[in-house]
Structure 1
Amino acid sequence: MKKLYLFDFDGTLTYKDTLFLYLKFYNSRKFTFQFIKHIPLFVLLKMKLLEAEKVKKSFISGVLKGQSRTQIEKKSQEFFETYYPQIFRDNALDFIKNIDPEKTESYIVTASLDIWVQPFADHFKMKLLATQAEFKDHIFTGNFASKNCNGAEKLHRIKEVLAGKRYDKTIAFGDTAGDKEMMDWADESQFEFFH
C-alpha cells in the first residue's frame, strides 16, 4: 500500500504564516519600512482590487532583492533553527513523526518561497513544491522563477512532478481556499486536520 501525502505549509502545519515572520527575521528595519510602504497595497488586496501575487512579489523584493543565495540560505537555516518546532502545531508534528517513509511519499505544497521552507522540508524528509525564487549569478532578482504556487497552480505542480507515478491513496491537508484544487483532486482531503 503506497500512500501520497500532500501538506499545505502555512496555517496547516504551522500556527502562523511564515512570510512576514521570515522577512522580519531577515531584516527587521527593511521589513518595517516595506510594511509601511505596502499598507495601501494591502488595503487594495483586501478589497480584491489587486492580485495577491503582485503584492507578495513586491513586498518580498523590497526586503530581499539583491541578496546573495549564500546569505539567503544561511539566514533561512538560522530561521529554521530559531522557529522549529515552536511555530508548528503539535498534532502535525506527531502525525509527521509517525509517517512510514517506506510506504509513504510526502510533499509540502506551499505558496511560500522555497528559500525559507526548504530547511523545514529537509528536516521532515519531504519533497517541496513551492513558489520559486529567481536567482541570476547567485543574486536574488526580486522575481519568482515560477508562478505563485497557490490554488490551481498547486495542482498543476503536483501533476507535473507525479507524472507516471502511481499511489494506492492520495491524501491532501489544507486550511484555505488556496488548497481547494489540490484537496478536490486527492482521494481524501483533510481540512484543518491538525487544528
Structure 2
Amino acid sequence: MCTCKEMSDCYDSAKKQAFDCFEPCWNETHSYSLTQFPDKLRVCFENRRGFVDNIVSCLRTKVKACADDEEKAKQRHDVKNYDYQDMIRRVDDIINEHIRTFLNSITSNYAKNLFVKHVVNAAASVARCVKNCFLEKNKDGFCFDRKGCEPEITDQNAKLAVRQCSRTVNWKKEIAELCTCSSQAGVSGISDYCGMLNIVG
C-alpha cells in the first residue's frame, strides 16, 4: 500500500506529465485553422490548467486509497494492482459525455453551431492527444510501479470519485470562459454564443 505522500507525489508527477504533453499536442489545433493569432488562442487553453489541477486534487482526495504513515502502509501487502487505464477511460468518457451534452444543447442557428463545434472539436482533439501522450509516457509502468507501492483503490471508490469530481466542475463556466477567450483571440463566429453562455451561467 502507498503512503499518502507517495500517492501525492505520483499525482503531482501525473499532472506534470499531462502538462508536458500539452506542448506537442497543441499542434492538433493547426488543422482546424481557428484563428490568425494561434499564440493568443494557446494562452486560452493554457489558462485552463486550473481545471486540470482541480480535477486531479479532487480525485486525490476522494479516492481514499493511502495510509497516513509508512508503518500502516507496510502492514498492507494484499493490495491488488489497479487498472489505471480504466480510470483514465472513465474520466475520458465523462468528459466526452459533457461535450456531447453541450453540443446537443447549443443554439439551433446552424452557422453559429458550426463555429462553436469547430472550437469544441479542436479542444477535444488536444485533450485526446494529451491522454494518448500520457499513456505513452507510462507504457512501461506508472509512478506507483516505480515507487514499488500500490494505492488501495476499490472499484466502488474509483467510480464514486470520478462521478463526484465531475460534479464539482462548473462545466458551463469553463466552456464560457474558454469561449470568450477564444473569441478575443480571433476565433470568429462565436462571440454571440459566448455572451449567451455567460448570461445563462
- TM normalised by structure 2 equals 0.28
| Structure with the largest fraction of helix | 2
Larger RCO (alpha carbons 8 Å, 6+ apart): 2
TM-score, scaled relative to structure 1: 0.29
Structure in which a larger fraction of residues adopt strand: 1
